[in-house]
Amino acid sequence: MKLFIIDGNSLCYRAYYAIRQLKNSKGEPTNAVYGFISILNKIRKNESPDMLAVCFDMKGPTFRHEKFKEYKVHRKPMPDELVEQMPVIKEVVRAYNIPVFEMEGYEADDVIATLAKKAAARSIDVFIVTGDKDMLQIVDKHIKVYNTHKEGLIYDIDKVRERYGAGPDKVTDIMALTGDASDNIPGASGIGEKTAVNLIKQFGSLDKLLSNLGSVKSESVRGKIEASMDDIKMSRELVTVDTDVPIDIDLDDTKIKEPDAEKLFSLFKRLEFKNLLRDIAPDAASDADYALIKDKAAFAAFMKKLEKAKEFAFDFETTGTDPMSVEPIGISFSLKEKEAYYISFGSGHLDSTHVFDSLKDIFEKKGIRKIGQNIKYEYIILKRHGITLEGIYFDTMVASYLLDPSRFRHGLDDIALEYLDFKMTPISDLIGKGKGKINMRDVPVAKVSDYSCQDSDVTLRLSGILKGKLKEGGLWSLFEEVEIPLISVLARMEMNGVSIDTKFLGKMEADIAKSLKKLCRDIYEIAGEEFNINSPKQVSCILFDKLGLPSVKKTKTGSSTDEEVLRGLSSKHALPALLLEYRELAKLDSTYVQALPRLINKDTGRVHTSYNQTVTATGRLSSSEPNIQNIPVKTELGRKIRASFVPAKKGYRIVAADYSQIELRILAALSKDRVLIEAFKEGADIHRRTAALVFGVKEDKVTDEMRNSAKTVNFGVIYGISPYGLARQLGIGIAEAKEFIDTYFETYPGVRIYMEEKIEDARRDGYVTTLLNRKRHIPNLDSRDGSSRGFAERTAINTPIQGTAADIIKVAMINIDRRLTEEKWGSVMILQVHDELVFESPASETKALKEMARKEMEGVLDIGVPINVTIKEGDNWLMAEGESE
């Protein structure tokens, strides 16, 4: 029989410091809980204990404090965030049906020792899980210490002897001499472990040493011991664990039992431990009825049911993830909860053309409500097969996002776990992972059928639940009127794609290669040697070891050489600036110049980015494959990449319509600052006007430097810029930056009031909203941690501004797309980047397009402040983009 006794406090501290940043969406720290569970589960799995117990310290003094008031007086108090997690950890332990032992007046060590000795007396093998060396004193033939600091290290009698040169029975004698600084146990002042071990080995015990002090050869050592006699004796009492704590212990209680799955599930859900939840969640399809349809007769029978349906959820199974290139191998439908049908194409089953032809009228009927998870994917597949999906009613991924935009994932498995309390079959169960991954086409059709039916069934089940929550949260209008119509707009934009001038990029790549080669030579010359510029470790050696530059940030692998560090070092040495230039150029080359031509679709000859509607917490869109949003615009070379985005046909132009200073205009509207609103109504250059007011000069006397400083503050205020941040951006002193910000708020007092009120609103309500009632929950506003609290406050200020800007451009996109479609324009919308919409337009339409786009974008929402749009056209995107604000 094996009994594992876990030192709860030791393990909690280890877990807390091993995983530093982990919180749930409510802002509650969960790092120690997660780390503790991980170690606990590892022990359960790897060691297969027959018995298990956890012991904790309790608050308040122990018998050791009565003996020595200064005991542990210098020890730092437990961090607040760990204190907060301790009750949760105990709750988790009890949910695992593991007994917890603790007793007032005694430490966990004493309780552990008592429990261990009781078990050893019954010839049970005991393993004490701890990082505390105090427990080595009770190691015997049945008791061992399972060290948590060094994985796999187990201290038995021989290992203790190897560690100290003496057996476990001498550990307290050695510790009595050395003391323990962490617990403020004095020991003999000036006696280290090596000396203590040699003395105990020489004399056999502490008592014999103290009674034969005259035999100690070293006068210095003898003097130190004589001067510390009382401390040594007291120290031995303090370090000796009590093996007879009067605590009620029934060893049968420690026998391994099945965890309370219901309690664990509830706890893991509250803590948002998705991976742990999946281990104990029930299967989604356990009580469902799924059918595989693979012949015409069965398909005809199913079509009769489908034609009567008022709504249904559906899901394609395909050969990949890119909707512009994949081939569908089947489609599932769910017409009511816990029922679904999978229609299989090919491999002797149904002909896909026949299926698509049969389904066309139903998919194009607006009166039938369609439900999906990321239904944009299905829209594109259907459109590629000649079907325009109408009647999009619900998207569970978008609904989940609206309910909690700060969540990292809105996949169907995550949502099912959150709202239905069960786990989905992971796709890796079908197609595998890594090198062994196969195509879905090669998976047995019965497995594909169950998998796809589950997706449709669960999507239908979730739609009802999520709809209720959207209405309850006041989010239904935003969902129904903005996010759902936007799905088809984004699908059409993705399908439109954009044409890329590969010759232009080829020349750019050659130019960059020359520049990188020259940079390499310059870097090696300054460094005095050649090294791998792409290796952070080698860069670190050159900067900090060879050149002796100050190391300002440490990582697990050494001194950091990230962008922030290099920028800071650039004023001290020429090399960091060159390294930054090299990295920026190399990244630009690999991410865009070389990558864009590889992303051209072989069938369309265009690049089709994917717009992500459920990623950013503010409501803004993001894009991937390629990430159009991240093309640099602050550097000349970055901007030059936009010149490769060109019309596909002769006689066409690129038209770009960009909201002018939209976030500042929204700030004026939300803050109701009279001076700021007046400036926008007068059509003033807001940065020049701000500079004039802050510097106390007339607008015609404002220099470019003054305007740039004002511009930095104008935009920085939206993001809660600090005096330190402003000082760094402008290259001025912190005191001067603080004075600048203070003067700004005196100039626009309504802005300060808005910021203060918004933080208080968020603290009261737990969330902030945009003008269209988009919500974002803001945890950590009352956090004891200054950086967490500061981030929460900046988020509360910024989200309503950024989110409203996102709402505005989304509504404009919907309105413009409707007009382009209904009025049968030759122009198409091809890109959305931040506050900018980009079109490909016949030259004959550009004038009318600009007028239409301006009308729709400027008239999208009355915010009480004029909304202005800058529109330009050109032979490529660079020529059509607006000038810097």
Q: What is the predicted pLDDT for the residue at 772? A: 96
Residue 500: which pLDDT band, with cuts at 50, 70 and 90? very high
Q: Which two tokens stand for residue 880?
A: 């059509």
Q: What is the predicted pLDDT for the residue at 748? A: 92
Q: What is the predicted pLDDT for the residue at 189? A: 78
pLDDT in tens, 162-179: 888 888 888 887 887 777
Distant-in-sequence, close-in-space partners of 618: CB < 8 Å, separation ≥ 6: 405, 776, 798, 799, 802, 803, 806
pLDDT in tens, 308-333: 999 999 999 999 999 999 999 999 99
Q: 762 with 798: CB under 8 angstroms?
A: no
For residues 817 and 85, give the distance between their C-alpha atoms in angstroms, rounded to a whole number.
51
Q: What is the predicted pLDDT for the residue at 223? A: 76
Distant-in-sequence, close-in-space partners of 204: CB < 8 Å, separation ≥ 6: none
Q: What is the predicted pLDDT for the residue at 63? A: 76
Q: How far is CA 56 from CA 140, 416, 691, in A?
A: 23, 36, 61
> Does residue 885 surpass a pLDDT of 50?
no
Q: What is the predicted pLDDT for the residue at 662? A: 95
- DSSP per-residue string spanning 670-691: HHT-HHHHHHHHTT--HHHHHH
> Does residue 514 surpass a pLDDT of 90?
yes
Residue 285: which pLDDT band, with cuts at 50, 70 and 90? low
Structural domains of the chain sorted by starting position, each given as residue range(s) with its CATH number in brackets? 2-160+241-261 (3.40.50.1010), 281-496 (3.30.420.10), 504-605 (1.20.1060.10), 663-800 (1.10.150.20)
Torsion of CA 334, 336, 337, 343, to 10 degrees: -20
Q: What is the predicted pLDDT for the residue at 44? A: 92
Distant-in-sequence, close-in-space partners of 403: CB < 8 Å, separation ≥ 6: 466, 469, 470, 473, 475
pLDDT in tens, 714-723: 888 888 888 8
Residues paired with residue 252 on neighbouring β-strands, in sequence order: none
Q: How far is CA 786 from CA 270, 777, 792, 796, in A?
A: 25, 19, 10, 15
Residue type, 621: L
% pLDDT > 70, the chain? 98
Stretch 289-299: mean pLDDT: 95
Sign of CA dihedral 75, 79, 80, 86: negative
As a three-state string, the secondary structure of 205-257 is CHHHHHHCHHHCCCHHHHHHHHHCHHHHHHHHHHHCCCCCCCCCCCHHHHECC
Stretch 527-547: mean pLDDT: 91
Q: What is the predicted pLDDT for the residue at 882? A: 54
Which carries the bigger pLDDT value, residue 93 or residue 557?
93
Average predicted confidence (pLDDT) for the chain: 91
Stretch 836-865: mean pLDDT: 96
For residues 586 and 3, give the distance between their C-alpha atoms in angstroms, rounded to a whole number.
57
Per-residue buried b or exposed e for 207-218, using 16+ beta carbons within 10 Å of the residue's own CB: eebbeeeeebee
Distant-in-sequence, close-in-space partners of 349: CB < 8 Å, separation ≥ 6: 294, 295, 445
Q: What is the predicted pLDDT for the residue at 33? A: 95
**Least confidently predicted of 114-123, 652-661, 690-699:** 690-699
Distant-in-sequence, close-in-space partners of 193: CB < 8 Å, separation ≥ 6: 174, 178
DSSP state of 845: G
Q: How crowded is the C-beta side of 99, counted as CA atoms within 13 Å?
A: 20
% pLDDT > 90, the chain? 64
Stretch 523-543: mean pLDDT: 91
Q: 631 with 642: CB under 8 angstroms?
A: yes
Which carries the bigger pLDDT value, residue 183 or residue 560?
560
Instruction: Please state at what angle helix 219-227 crosses helix 229-239, rounded to 10 degrees.
Output: 70
Q: What is the predicted pLDDT for the residue at 151? A: 65
Q: What is the predicted pLDDT for the residue at 322? A: 94
Q: For residue 734, which phi and psi values (nearest 5 degrees)?
A: -65, -40
For residues 818 and 199, give the distance between their C-alpha atoms in angstroms, rounded to a whole number.
90
Stretch 734-762: mean pLDDT: 92
* Residue 501 Rama label (left phi>0; alpha psi -120 to 50; beta): beta
Q: What is the predicted pLDDT for the residue at 107? A: 87
**Least confidently predicted of 487-491, 790-794, 821-825:** 790-794
> Does residue 883 surpass a pLDDT of 60?
no
Residue 510: which pLDDT band, with cuts at 50, 70 and 90? very high
